[in-house]
Chain A
Amino acid sequence: MTVAFLYALSGVALFVLAFHALVSRRHLLHKIMSVNVMGSGVFLIIGALARRTPTADPDPVPLALVITGIVVAVAATALGIVIMLRVQAATGRPELPPADRN
């Protein structure tokens, strides 16, 4: 096993861990943070596997994809935090309202 696979597996663990936290944590800040960690896991898998080239330089295409992904993630996080604050202001709780309204 090479370094690429080591970090890729670390990314898999991050992804699964964050998915668990996303489902089980109730506070919206935890949920938004879970999505961020999940993103880091995905980026680590994609970026680490780019290191499997025969030369010393990693494949630049996946790295460019990861940079794009990181910027999209911060944009989404900023929006998420603003909506979280408004949810708390409107309902008094920084949590998702119950799903069943019917």
Chain B
Amino acid sequence: MPQPGAALLVVAVLLPVSASALCFLAPRLARAIAVVVALVLALTVVLLAVQLVTHGPLEYRVGGWGAPLGIDLRADGLTVFMLLAAALTGLPVTVYGLSYFPASGAAGGFWPLWMLLWGALNALFVAGDAFNLYVTLELMGLSAVGLVALAGSSDALGGAMRYLLMTLTASLIYLLGVGLLYHRSGTLDLALLGTSLEGGATTWVALGLMSAALLVKSALFPLHFWLPPAHSSAPAPVSAVLSGLVVKATIYLLLRLWLDVMPPGKAGLGAALGGLGAAAIVWGSVQALRQSELKLLVAYSTVAQLGYLFLPFAIDPAHAGVAWRGAAYFVLCHALAKTAMFMTVGNLQKLGAGAHLGELQHVARQFPVSLAAFGIAGVTIIGLPPSGGFLAKWLLLQASFGAGQWWFAVVVLAGGLLSAAYVFRVVGLAFVEEGTRARGDVAPKGRTSAAEWITLAVALATVVLGFTAPLMLGVLDVGEPFGQPSGEPLSEPGGAP
């Protein structure tokens, strides 16, 4: 008996994929198609969340066969939470793209590629099959490469090439792991693997290969070598999606494998991941502080912020549930904050202000809206109240105190301080009024563009997320994705972290 509403899972994949084909077929209509589809897609995801909350976890059998012969799509709270994150980021990026990309020219390739990337993200989130995930990884990686190359500069082309080689190699390593798992257990279905998989050489080598591949794709320090060149040279809306969603999709997949597939005996691996996450936070933040180009600063900030998502792997399993809820909320807040930051960079570049930190002076007076957006997004990145970022970090701290792992809290707090340093460095420079103008030909303050207002709206959304947490976490908890009853109500944050 098919569940009512489960078909929305496949709709969330087919809609953007067909939109991509239509954008290619009718380039003149591409912009209109993309905006309409983005709206419908957002609505679909909201409906899906309603279905999930009323009916519990959803399952859809593509082709009607069912696992192990066919391919199943599944959704629990975490799945829908990620779909929501994609929609909340994707919608403003689509609207922003309208003003960022000219109506004609080679940049028209943005629309079909972006729709396909969105489709790949959704397909990855709902997939319940290890090989199907390989195909979605390739779809995601290749569309991301095409989007990076769109910028056309030699930096962007080099970044795209490096990205391509990375993503192809990592996908093949992932596929090898999937193949070995299949030959070990006779199924590709993640849920069946989770119940039937036994330890042993083949299993651990296979899971090791898959994890390593996903770590490279997620740019976990020290495997982040490909991220700054690609993320800093891509067009601004593309950088936003890459930093906000694409790297997190592979962390999501890693978490799925960790929670649903890996047999017990993985504490050592978890500790290693947590340790690398902590190193990423410190190293990435220091690198961000050292940058002289705004876009590279934001890109290294991503390397640092991704570290937080690996900390919960190292938390005592009894308390990991709280940490994972914090990490999931962090994904959402960081996606929006990074989107606002990259949009700010895009605005400054479009309006003729330098992307170089040295040229930032006077920017505050010329582009007050963009700068305000950057500052507000910075509040979430630092993790100050009342932003969503504060709440996410609060949950992480709560888990670390609960588990008695104090080093974890130290890293979270240190990361907050370091990010405060680089955010204030940018905002501070922008407000400098005295001194000689680096460039006399900077345009005087004009009308605030639509793109700037969108940027501000996205930044403000990160603040709104600080107040909508009970609702969002209610969706997240459906089906208990983190494997333990989340009976305890969300405790109100009492003081500053």
Contacts and interface: CB of A to CB of B under 8 A. Distances in A.
User: Do the two chains touch directly in the complex (Cβ atoms below 8 Å apart)?
Assistant: yes
A97 interface: yes
Interface string A65-76: 100110010011
Interface in A51-71: 52, 61-62, 65, 68-69
Interface residues on A, range: 35 or more
A17 interface: no
A49 B179 contact: yes
A45 B176 contact: yes
Interface residues of B, number: 37
Contact of A65 (B131, B155, B158, B172): B131
Contacts of B90: none
Given A22-B169, A102-B290, A96 B158 contact: yes
Contacts of B287: 102
A79 B164 contact: yes
Contact of B179 (A28, A45, A102): A45
Nearest to B141: A76
A86 interface: yes
A54 to B, nearest CB: 13
Given A76-B138, A87-B157, A49 B172 contact: no
A39 B168 CA distance: 9
Contacts, number: 98
Given A39-B172, A45-B176, A87 B154 contact: yes
B226 to A, nearest CB: 8
B172 A42 contact: yes
B428 to A, nearest CB: 21
B160 interface: yes
B235 to A, nearest CB: 16
A80 B158 CA distance: 11
A79 B145 contact: yes
A69 B169 contact: no
Given A91-B154, A102-B287, A83 B145 contact: yes
B161 interface: yes
Contacts of B101: none
A96 B162 contact: yes
Contacts of A62: 179, 182-183
A69 B138 CA distance: 10
Contacts of A45: 176, 179-180
Contacts of B168: 35, 76, 80
B149 interface: yes
B142 interface: yes
Contacts of A72: 135, 138
Contacts of B145: 79, 83
A5 B179 CA distance: 14
A62 to B, nearest CB: 7
Contacts of B296: 101-102
Contacts of B158: 87, 91, 96-97
Interface string A15-39: 1000100100000100110010011
A80 B154 contact: no
Interface in B137-180: 138, 142, 145-146, 149, 153-155, 157-158, 160-162, 164-165, 168-169, 172, 175-176, 179-180
CB-CB nearest 9 A-B residue pairs:
A46-B179, A90-B154, A97-B158, A49-B183, A42-B176, A87-B157, A35-B168, A91-B154, A72-B138
Given A79-B145, A79-B164, A102-B293, 4 more contacts: A35-B172, A75-B142, A87-B161, A96-B162
15 contacts: A35-B165, A38-B172, A42-B172, A49-B183, A61-B182, A69-B134, A80-B165, A83-B157, A83-B164, A87-B157, A97-B155, A97-B158, A99-B225, A99-B229, A102-B290
Interface of A: 15, 19, 22, 28, 31-32, 35, 38-39, 42, 45-46, 49-50, 52, 61-62, 65, 68-69, 72, 75-76, 79-80, 83-84, 86-87, 90-91, 96-97, 99, 101-102
